[in-house]
Amino acid sequence: MFKTRLLSGIVLVAAALLLIITGNDVLLVGIGAISLIGLYEMYRVFHIEKNAAGIAGFLLAIIFYLNLKWNFVADMMMFAILSLVVLMFVYVFTYPKYRTEQILASFFGIFYIPVMLSYVYQTRMLESGAYIVWLIFLCSWGSDTCAYCVGVLIGKHKMTPKLSPKKSWEGAFGGVIGAALLTLIYGFVFQSAMKTTVEEIICLAGIGAVGAVISMIGDLTASAIKRNYNIKDYGKLIPGHGGIMDRFDSVIFTAPVIYYLLSYVLGGN
């Protein structure tokens, strides 16, 4: 099991390197595909992955990604209203085929996965995005690794015993500190490439700590949904890890937070 998980992790990291280093349309298509798979996994929980409510959600997600390329809908609120109207159309003209919570899940899924995950691409497209986009993964996967190591070594106080019994407050603290330190090291290594000052690097470390906290919320959110619907994993696409949602649950939450904080601190550099 460990070997399978390790090999899958190596492949996952290699794929992430290829997509993010290449950037532009390759990354857009890659993140779009990952988003649609994750959306399928989420819709499967609510049993709408193959019917009109789910198909409408998939089409709206595709429209959103096409809009990132061609910007034919400038106002995000307009897209949100369009999505709601389309799903209400499906709801009323197929009534009583779908329960209210299924339509709400379709709407929720669009913004929870494709929209939020798209900020990996949007961060990459910033001026210094080739470097700062990696902060998303340092805050997500880096903090997760640090939290696990600290939790195994000294974890005693359970953070959410009913939701995730293995997570401890000590591990959470270790994850936050670990993410801040990793970001600090990364910032100094690539300081000239990112054109950042020492003060900005320290701010980045603070952003890394905030990102780590948000990353944990993302992880626990995905776990809470699984607990509510009595499922172990969202899928089996990634051997040893589960589905896209099992691996990217923290990235989904971290990406938009990092994007906006970086845009504010670095002024879009």
Instruction: Return the domain boundaries, the chain.
Output: 1-117, 128-269
Supply the pTM of this predicted model: 0.91
Predicted pLDDT at 243: 82
Q: What pLDDT score does 236 carry?
A: 77
Average pLDDT for 33-61: 95
Measured CA to CA, the distance from residue 104 to residue 126 in angstroms comes to 33
pLDDT value for 17? 81
Name the least confident of 3-17, 40-54, 95-109. Answer: 3-17
The residue written with tokens 């776990």 in the block is: 223
State the pLDDT at residue 241: 65
Q: What is the mean pLDDT of residues 216-233?
A: 89
Would the pLDDT of 242 be above 80? no
Peptide bond into 96 cis (omega under 30): yes
What pLDDT does 5 receive? 61
- Rounded to whole angstroms, the Cα distance separating 237 from 39 reads 13
* pLDDT score at 268: 47
pLDDT digits (tens, 9 = 90+) for 92-112: 999 999 999 999 999 999 999
pLDDT at 71 over 60: yes
Strands, E, within the chain: which ranges? 158-160, 164-168
User: What's the CA gap between 62 and 11, in Å, rounded?
Assistant: 26
**Is residue 130 pLDDT above 70, yes or no?**
yes
229: left (phi over 0), alpha (psi -120 to 50) or beta: alpha
What would the two tokens of residue 265 be? 């601190």
Lowest mean pLDDT among 38-42, 138-142, 215-219: 138-142
- Gyration radius of the chain's alpha carbons: 19
Judge whether residue 224 has pLDDT over 50: yes
Mean pLDDT value across residues 113-129: 93
Mean predicted lDDT score pLDDT of the chain = 89
Q: Please, which pLDDT band fits residue 11 given cuts at 50, 70 and 90? A: confident
| CA–CA separation, 67 and 69 (whole Å) | 5
Per-residue pLDDT at 176 exceeds 90: yes
What integer pLDDT is reported at residue 151 of this predicted model?
86
Residue 114 has pLDDT above 80, yes or no: yes
Q: What is the pLDDT of residue 9?
A: 64
Q: How confident is the model at residue 3 (pLDDT cuts 50, 70, 90)?
A: low
